[in-house]
Amino acid sequence: MKLTALLGGLTIFPAPQSVPRFPALGPTTSRSVRTNNMLINPPGHPPVPHLDEVTTSSFNISNVQAEVLIVDPTGFKKLMNMVIPTISTVDIMLDMSTQPSASLNMAFSQTGLHKLGIQDNLNDTVFSGGQFADAPNLAESTNTWVSQFKGTSIHGVYITASDSSNSLMQQNSALQTVLGTTIQVVYSIQGQARPGDQAGHEHFGFLDGISQPTIEGFGTPLPGQVTVPAGKLLLNREQDQMTRPSWTIDSSFVAFRQLKQLVPEFNTFANDHPASIPGMSQAQAAELTQARMMGRWKSGAPVDLAPLFDDPVLGADPTRNNNFNYTHPGFNSSSDQIHCPFSAHIRKNVPRTDLDPIDLAHHILRSGIPYGPEVTEVEQQSGQTMMERGLLFLAVQSNIASGFQFLQKAWMNNPEFVKHKSVLPGLDPVMGQNNGSARFTTGLDPMNPEGNTTLPMQFVVSRGGEYFFMPSLSALRHIISS
Ligand code: N7H
């Protein structure tokens, strides 16, 4: 299967309970004896795919992401021969009998590839420049960035994921034992699923991971799911527009972002800007404002189909919760914001029939997990974030300039997008950025959808990140044998 390595990399998995994989690093110890499936499916997520039907991301309980320096490239390459059999490819992950107790994926920055002796031009200038240099294009100041992301010194990242914190710890320490002093961890962050019925929901409370593109030839798309050519996500596949070294086949570029979420402030904003629907309680009206900012209710139900009240049954139904396109009989789609605001986060990112023909060029696969503690009573009462929390966000694509960077720069941050509407939509109120300066949006109140709203702050603050090359297994073998 061609997608093996990529999807092994982009799918962040939940799960197991049993033995750690590394101690002996042999093929026999690298497999758990498992009675439950590692892949979980919160209500509303597309079903876990079969091996021959790879279309979706799944949801992990906990993961650790460690940014590393490669101190001894020769030693690292040698020891990686022992690590490669434990890299989590999609065929291993989709078959319960082969699932490990904790999954492992690895990716390298441009600096890291150079350090490992790879001089080939992978032909993605945004990747090779690094994310720090790209901050002005994303309209963000790097003042809020984690210091380790400032510059181009990070060489690589490994991501381990599991449903058991023991397995996760064992996996991490075993990996560090094996690679020893050939690498140095310079930054590490742990994400975890939120508790109870919030599993699958990020810190603002929204169900995430509902909508993903699928790739031509892999299973039957769910209603409303877009199918893109494989080369939009995988290097050297059909409609990858760039010329790449042949060894990169089936690899991807990954944009990693640490995105801090100001949850009490987001809630205060909605309470201060309730939708003005007659007969609605203040709480319902504030909830509607947040749903219109996102384009979905917290249950996952799209406001395009459920414009005034949440519909949790719709939200939990993967055959219906993505099946909408912003058009409605009797409504003019260039002025209709009764259903969904033009600026809503999901509409800015995937405009569906707002673009004609429907866009196939700017899709990403997303994989995110929350980090940081739950909001405390004191934070809730004061309306102020006191402890950092947010989303560890991964976007996978074959070309960062038409994937992650494009969505952030050309659509979410662009007040004119989508064009040819009855009003300038303004910025995506959730994730649009304007270098820390004032932001405006429209469409929050269905009773006055063309009204402008000034957003008092960024509810999501970037803590930075890096762009990585996530090699397929064959590409990884090429890198370590070069
Ligand atoms: Fe977004 N969130 O969890 O609240 N996002 N996102 N995102 N996002 C989506 O459809 C969120 C971010 C996309 O197909 C949902 O799966 C948060 C960035 C795309 O209709 C929710 C942050 C980028 C879609 C969130 C964040 C994107 C999407 C609805 C930052 C790209 C699919 C659930 C902290 C550059 C849209 C779903 C579609 C959906 C959340 C960031 C992209 C709930 C909190 C940086 C393409």
373 is a domain residue: no
Q: Would you give the distance in Å from CA 478 to the centre of its chain?
A: 27
Question: What's the pLDDT at 97?
Answer: 77
Claim to verify: residue 223 and residue 277 sit in the same structural domain: no
Rounded Cα gap, residues 479 and 266, in angstroms: 44
Mean pLDDT value of segment 252-274: 98
Amino acid 192 reads Q
Closest C-alpha among 11, 88, 429, 67 to residue 258: 67
How much is the mean pLDDT over the chain? 89
Which atom of ligand 1 is nearest the CA belonging to 352? 20
108 is a domain residue: yes
With cut-offs at 50, 70 and 90, classify the pLDDT of residue 55: very low
371 is a domain residue: no
135 is a domain residue: yes
388 is a domain residue: yes
Question: What's the pLDDT at 37?
Answer: 67
Question: What's the pLDDT at 77?
Answer: 97
Residue length of the chain: 482
Closest C-alpha among 194, 232, 163, 228 to residue 403: 232
**Residue 183 clears pLDDT 70, i.e. is over it:** yes
Claim to verify: residue 253 and residue 313 sit in the same structural domain: no
Mean pLDDT value of segment 146-154: 98
Lowest mean pLDDT among 25-39, 104-118, 143-157, 234-248: 25-39
Claim to verify: residue 20 and residue 157 sit in the same structural domain: yes
Lowest mean pLDDT among 160-174, 254-268, 424-438: 160-174
Which atom of ligand 1 is nearest the CA belonging to 408? 35
Question: What's the pLDDT at 51?
Answer: 44
Which atom of ligand 1 is nearest the CA belonging to 206? 43
Claim to verify: residue 241 and residue 270 sit in the same structural domain: no
**Residue 1 clears pLDDT 90, i.e. is over it:** no
Claim to verify: residue 386 and residue 411 sit in the same structural domain: yes
- Where b means 16+ CB within 10 Å and e means fewer, 271-297 reads bebbbeeeebeeeebbbbbbbbbbbbb
**Residue 387 clears pLDDT 80, i.e. is over it:** yes
Closest C-alpha among 277, 271, 278, 273 to residue 454: 273
60 is a domain residue: yes
Claim to verify: residue 223 and residue 276 sit in the same structural domain: no
Claim to verify: residue 268 and residue 255 sit in the same structural domain: no
Going through 198-328 in order, the beta strands assigned E by DSSP cover 214-215, 227-228, 252-261
CA 12 vs CA 18, 39, 155: distances in Å: 18, 9, 21
Closest C-alpha among 392, 209, 374, 429 to residue 300: 209
Mean pLDDT value of segment 422-450: 97
370 is a domain residue: no
21 is a domain residue: yes
Question: What's the pLDDT at 258?
Answer: 98
| pLDDT, tens only, 302-335 | 999 999 999 999 999 999 999 999 999 999 999 9
With cut-offs at 50, 70 and 90, classify the pLDDT of residue 98: confident
Regarding beta strands 227-228 and 252-261, do their DSSP bridges make them parallel or antiparallel, or are they unpaired?
Answer: unpaired
Which residues span the domain enclosing 217? 7-259+465-481
Claim to verify: residue 22 and residue 156 sit in the same structural domain: yes
Amino acid 16 reads P
> Ligand 1, from 256, 366, 385, 428: best to mutate by most atoms within 8 Å of Cβ?
366
Number of domains the chain is built from: 2
Q: Identify the residue with better confidence: 106 or 87.
A: 106
> Ligand 1, from 371, 431, 457, 458: best to mutate by most atoms within 8 Å of Cβ?
431
Rounded Cα gap, residues 336 and 338, in angstroms: 6
Claim to verify: residue 214 and residue 358 sit in the same structural domain: no
Ligand 1, CB cutoff 6 Å, lining residues: 202, 204, 206, 208-211, 259, 261, 294, 296, 345-346, 349-350, 364, 366, 390-391, 393, 395, 404, 407-408, 430-431, 460
Claim to verify: residue 57 and residue 109 sit in the same structural domain: yes
The DSSP secondary structure of 159-214, one letter per residue, reads: EEEES-HHHHHHHHHHHHHHHGGGEEEEEEEEEEPPSGGGTTB-TTS-B-S----E
Claim to verify: residue 197 and residue 311 sit in the same structural domain: no
Amino acid 111 reads T
Claim to verify: residue 459 and residue 469 sit in the same structural domain: no
The partner residues of 157 in beta bridges, in order of sequence, read 67, 107
> Ligand 1, from 346, 352, 371, 433: best to mutate by most atoms within 8 Å of Cβ?
346
Active-site residues, by number, are 208
Residue nearest atom 19 of ligand 1, based on CA coordinates: 349
Question: What's the pLDDT at 12?
Answer: 28
